[in-house]
Amino acid sequence: MWRKENIMIVFSCVAFNILLVSVSSQSDQVHQDPPEIYSQPGTTATISCRHELQDYNRILWYRQPGGGGRMTLLGLMNVDQQQLEDGVTAKMSGGAMKGQTCLFTTEELQLGGTARYFCAAYNHCASGSYEAHFGGGTKLTVLEPNRTAIPPTVRVLKPSPNEGGQTRTLVCVATDFYPDHVSVSWTVNGNKRLSGVATDAAATRLDDFYRITSRLTVYVKEWQNRGKDFACVVDFFNGTETVNRIDSIRGVKGRLLFERKYLRIAQNAKLAYCAFIVKSCVYGAFVVFLLWKLQKSRKTEK
């Protein structure tokens, strides 16, 4: 069993690095597979971790509850020796040196045991201070009895007719899928769009299925273009591979642009008419003034 003093040494060296998990998870030097797993109650799951970091000789394993929150240390592989935390009955094998693969096999899974597992490559502080580098994580879901993966139904809704301003919002709704292993993205004419995208942080469960929404905000000029194709792509892991479900909608005829052009012409015509009226009034006043002067001149002569 791992001695308490060793726990303190490791945590004193890497505690501040745990906060870097969201950044380190993108490291291309630590490879964790698979990214997603479905398991049945009473079974186990195996995750692999490999790194390309010179002099790093330990791999730490963590578990984070499915709903997020604090990660729990499960144990570590020290070169080729497993050291598990008290009460953890998982198994590790392989090695923790550069290029070696460390396998982590969970204990028997129970319903509700959905979680994310992370591995982290690390070097003992005795030879210097090293940053812990995390793998991308593995999302593990324990399926409910007699249930299988069901991909989503996807639909893109056009902007609300009551929406004003210079932008329009398209809404993508993915429904009736199980479990919640999905990711949502948008494309415009086949090109991935990142700006203007807002997706729910997590899928919401409704009865026996899940639902997630995403929104794409575009400028009116782009929406009112029949040559634009706006597509919502929902990637879903079915237990074997990632499949996608897509729905799309085309831009509409630029009626608002025509209306704006018409209003601009009408406004210019109105201004021109007003100018004409003003000029006519000035001219009329001038004529009246001349007639008054002429009449006054005649009276003076008499």
**Residue 167's pLDDT is what?**
96
Alpha carbons 80 and 46: distance in angstroms, whole number: 17
**Residue 7's pLDDT is what?**
43
Can you tell me the mean pLDDT for 147-160? 96
Q: What percent of the chain has pLDDT over 90?
A: 67
**Residue 50's pLDDT is what?**
97
Bridge partners of residue 206, in order along the sequence:
209
Q: Between 129 and 189, where is the model more confident?
A: 189
Bridge partners of residue 72, in order along the sequence:
63
Whether 210 shows a pLDDT value over 90: the answer reads yes
Start-to-end CA span in the chain (Å): 133
Q: Between 111 and 7, where is the model more confident?
A: 111
Please answer whether residues 91 and 105 qualify as being in contact, where contact means their C-beta atoms are separated by less than 8 angstroms.
Answer: yes
When computed from its CA atoms, the radius of gyration of the chain, rounded to whole angstroms, is: 34
* CA 82 remoteness from chain centre: 36
Whether 215 shows a pLDDT value over 60: the answer reads yes
Average pLDDT across the chain, whole number? 84
Whether 274 shows a pLDDT value over 90: the answer reads no
Q: DSSP letters of 206-241? A: ETTEEEEEEEEEEEHHHHS-TT-EEEEEEEEE-SSS
Sign of CA dihedral 232, 240, 22, 178: positive
Picking from 87, 72, 64, 62, the residue whose alpha carbon sits closest to that of residue 2 is: 87
Q: Between 143 and 255, where is the model more confident?
A: 143
Whether 25 shows a pLDDT value over 50: the answer reads no
Give 113's pLDDT tier (boundaries 50, 70, 90): confident
pTM exceeding 0.75: no
Amino acid letter for position 208: D
Can you tell me the mean pLDDT for 2-31? 49
Place of tokens 């056009």: 158
Q: Provide the token pair at 209.
A: 């299925």
Give 24's pLDDT tier (boundaries 50, 70, 90): very low
**Residue 213's pLDDT is what?**
98
Residue 79 phi/psi, 5-degree rounding, is 60, -85
Cis, bond preceding 34 (omega within 30 deg of 0): yes
Picking from 22, 76, 71, the residue whose alpha carbon sits closest to that of residue 49 is: 76
**Residue 296's pLDDT is what?**
64
Can you tell me the mean pLDDT for 105-120? 92
Amino acid letter for position 33: D
Please answer whether residues 53 and 28 qualify as being in contact, where contact means their C-beta atoms are separated by less than 8 angstroms.
Answer: no
Bridge partners of residue 271, in order along the sequence:
none
Give 269's pLDDT tier (boundaries 50, 70, 90): low
Whether 29 shows a pLDDT value over 60: the answer reads yes
Give 126's pLDDT tier (boundaries 50, 70, 90): low
Alpha carbons 261 and 15: distance in angstroms, whole number: 62
